Chains A and B, each alone.
Chain A
Amino acid sequence: MQTTALNFKANVTKALGNANLRQSLKRVETNWVSRRAEAAARLPEFEALRDQARDIKNHVLAHLDVYLERFEQNVIANGGQVHWCKTPREARETILALCRTVDAKTATKGKSMIAEEIALNPFLSENGVEPVETDLGEYIIQLADEPPSHIVGPAIHKTKEEVSDLFLEHHRKYGQERRITDDQELVAEARKYLRQRYFDADVGITGANLLVAETGSSVIVTNEGNGDLTQTLPKMHIVLASLEKVVPTLEDAMTILRVLARSATGQEFSVYTTFSTGPRRAADLDGPGEYHVVLLDNGRSSMLGTELQDLLRCIRCGACMNHCPVYQSVGGHAYGWVYPGPIGAALDPHFLGIEEAQHLPNASTFCGRCEEVCPMRIPLPKIMRHWREQAFSSDVTPPLQRIGLGLWAWFAKRPALYRLGARLGIGVLGRLGRGRGSFSSLPLAGGWTKGRDLPAPAGRIFQDLWKARGGDAS
């Protein structure tokens, strides 16, 4: 995906002016924030489960090589293959080469953020393999030719009215003439036209929520069952996953699944949780003839042992963005790359470089709610601050900010001078503000006063008043 992260501010202006987006984003709070809270409250051991899930991932990250090799051995033992890919390009080319071995014309796809990360769809299209998204949200944005704006609900930015229009426009070719507005009917319509695509597909590509080392299984969770049809009907199933998805055992997978759906959508469990273990065996009624796992690194192994390692615990539940006041205001597209919200603000600079992604870790109030709800207890604000330090020390921070900050810090380190300056400045402001209580505009304070008044200071600083009243000052 082409990044627009550097244009964050322009993206924000566009987002804040988009009435449909603002309408759609209200669903984030009503659908996900309150349901997560209810789900967490219903399960007494939820907090303990979060600790367990975090510990499992920490253990895996300390022994990643061991579990990945064990996973590969078991995939091979089941009759499948693992393809190790360092870069997005290697992963794309591996997938295309696999598609060509079965002379694929179309490939159905389950939801996969890694496919977004490696920009798989345009690459397949250019090379004669038509990708067909089967997750309802992904299907909607594929019709709209847009990237996902949320890692769980990729089309959360679309209103139902927009979906009705999109379906009518794109389903006319199937003979559809009526504009449908009912929720259930819209789902049924997508299902109807997707059905034949499943049968026609030569290859099914899915992501993986987890890879299980002890069994060589890949695990996906969906609410629509689309992933099952994607991976069982075609001749070949390709699992596209990044390497930190591996867990040691089925037991570990269950622990993580117990926090995943609760954190994401407030469900106890997703409607479908599907374990895929190798290709179809002789006695199986169904299943793909071939099973391949494309395992992507894309710089993740270089995060091990650094400030960024904790990010590799992420299970892509989306709770951080659902609870983020900034995400709730601007939605996912404003962030300008694959991963939006707090996880994106912490992760995207690693992929894009801090210069391109400089706004993302800065555009946070550090309210800490993301870390509070993260099932894997990733210290997201701390990692964003790490990126701010990188930006500052590599001169990416804008000059005006650096000068302002430098001047303020120079005074803050000299208390006597600071007090003198504060006394004078506050005295002037106090006189200017006398009788009106607050300023509706003030030179150099446009950032503040553009959308709110600035409460005027009293006119004398506390430290002077304290001494004047005979207070004890050491």
Chain B
Amino acid sequence: MPDARPTVALFVTCLVDLFRPSVGFAAAKLLEQAGCRVVVPSVQTCCGQPAYNSGARADAKAIAAQVIAAFAGFDYVVAPSGSCAGMIRDHYPALFAGDPVLKAKADDLARRTWELVSFLRDERGLTDVGASFPGRVTYHDSCSGLRELGIKAQPRDLLNSVTGLELVEMHDPEACCGFGGTFCIKYPDISVDIVSRKTAAIVATGAGTMLAGDLGCLMNMAGRLRREGSDVKVRHVAEVLAGMTDQPAIGDAD
């Protein structure tokens, strides 16, 4: 009997692939729970944002063309990152504005591409993830997801379905954490100053756990919290929604 479920190609993102595979498995679990079949195309490295935002347009286009080819034909493409999903949805079509053939393919890919949590909530209609997580958590709105894809209510809706979880808002959750891709190593002093405002806002909530939907931002905030000696745990929102919080939090020892 043929599989009637829609097929989702997981765009795992370079950071999850390299630094935190558990987020990829959490994403796969949630997607299956939402009635999808999950495939991980092996021709994937990165969405090309580091090149695109460094002004290396030719490299960005080459990497984008590779993603467009590797992810053709699937019902959906889902990434556990607003930043990478935003790159594919908003910026790929712009990159190929002068190339009708690739532009059409980029548009097609853009239409099928989603960030994980908004996909679960808006496209698959998931309202209750059936997970439990005891304690207070606070949620940071990562910039690209928020401003390019309108991700704001979806993670909060789903977090509110987690048994035992109490969501407390930090001051200005929409303020940038200072990661900014290569910005954080090109201008580390500014980046650290920005993330210090963010960690102060996180700590002030009294929450034991901080969540967000983008691993770059999470590593930045976790790294700063560790340096400050804070014991706030940092996790990708997908780990909590999938009920997969057995492994140590980001930056924590085993």
Which residues of A pack against B, CB within 8 Å? 9, 12-13, 16, 325-326, 328-330, 362-369, 371-372, 385, 387-393, 397, 401, 405-406, 408-409, 411-413, 415, 418-419, 422, 426, 434-438, 440, 445, 447-458, 460-463, 465-467, 471-474
Contact status of A437 and B188, CB under 8 A, knowing A412-B48, A462-B21, A466-B40: no
Contact status of A473 and B18, CB under 8 A, knowing A437-B248, A462-B24: no
Judged by a CB distance under 8 angstroms, whether B163 is at the interface is no
Of the candidate stretches B106-114, B151-159, B215-223, the one touching chain A is B215-223
Smallest beta-carbon distance B198→chain A, Å: 9
Q: Which residue of the partner chain A has the closest CB to B71? A: A474
Q: Which residues of B contact A450 (CB under 8 A)?
A: 188-189, 192
Q: When the two chains form their complex, are residues A440 and B227 in contact, meaning their CB atoms are under 8 A apart?
A: yes
Contact status of A413 and B59, CB under 8 A, knowing A366-B53, A455-B219: yes
Q: Which residues of B contact A367 (CB under 8 A)?
A: 143, 147, 176, 180
Judged by a CB distance under 8 angstroms, whether B245 is at the interface is no
Q: Which residue of the partner chain B has the closest CB to A394? A: B55
Residues of chain B in range 145-184 having any CB-CB distance to chain A below 8 Å:
147-148, 174-176, 178-184
Judged by a CB distance under 8 angstroms, whether B124 is at the interface is no
**Distance between Cα atoms of A448 and B181 in the complex (Å):** 11
Taking a contact as CB atoms closer than 8 A, the residue among A366, A406, A462 that contacts B17 in the complex is A462
Smallest beta-carbon distance B55→chain A, Å: 3
Q: Which residues of B contact A436 (CB under 8 A)?
A: 253
Taking a contact as CB atoms closer than 8 A, the residue among B39, B55, B179 that contacts A473 in the complex is B39
Q: Which residues of B contact A455 (CB under 8 A)?
A: 19-20, 219, 222-223, 226, 250-251
Q: When the two chains form their complex, are residues A325 and B55 in contact, meaning their CB atoms are under 8 A apart?
A: no
Q: When the two chains form their complex, are residues B254 and A385 in contact, meaning their CB atoms are under 8 A apart?
A: no
Interface of B: prevailing SS? helix
Q: Which residue of the partner chain A has the closest CB to B179? A: A365
Q: Which residues of B contact A448 (CB under 8 A)?
A: 184-185, 188, 223
Q: Which residues of B contact A465 (CB under 8 A)?
A: 21, 24-25
**Distance between Cα atoms of A437 and B222 in the complex (Å):** 11
Nearest 7 CB-CB pairings of A with B: A365-B180, A451-B192, A392-B55, A447-B185, A388-B55, A452-B223, A367-B176
Q: When the two chains form their complex, are residues A405 and B54 in contact, meaning their CB atoms are under 8 A apart?
A: yes
Q: When the two chains form their complex, are residues A365 and B183 in contact, meaning their CB atoms are under 8 A apart?
A: yes
Q: When the two chains form their complex, are residues B219 and A393 in contact, meaning their CB atoms are under 8 A apart?
A: no
Taking a contact as CB atoms closer than 8 A, the residue among A363, A437, A474 that contacts B190 in the complex is A363
**Distance between Cα atoms of A41 and B74 in the complex (Å):** 41
Q: When the two chains form their complex, are residues B17 and A422 in contact, meaning their CB atoms are under 8 A apart?
A: yes
Encoded as 1 (CB less than 8 Å from any A CB) or 0, chain B from 121 to 156 comes to 000000000000000000000011001100000000
Q: Which residues of A contact B148 (CB under 8 A)?
A: 368
Q: When the two chains form their complex, are residues B37 and A16 in contact, meaning their CB atoms are under 8 A apart?
A: no
**Distance between Cα atoms of A371 and B148 in the complex (Å):** 11
Q: When the two chains form their complex, are residues B51 and A452 in contact, meaning their CB atoms are under 8 A apart?
A: no
**Distance between Cα atoms of A385 and B50 in the complex (Å):** 12
Q: Apart from A405-B54, A437-B252, A462-B25, what are 14 other A-B pairs with CB-CB below 8 Å?
A: A365-B191, A368-B147, A393-B55, A405-B50, A406-B56, A412-B63, A413-B63, A415-B66, A419-B42, A438-B251, A451-B196, A472-B40, A474-B39, A474-B40
Q: Which residues of A contact B51 (CB under 8 A)?
A: 405, 408-409, 412
Q: When the two chains form their complex, are residues B21 and A461 in contact, meaning their CB atoms are under 8 A apart?
A: yes
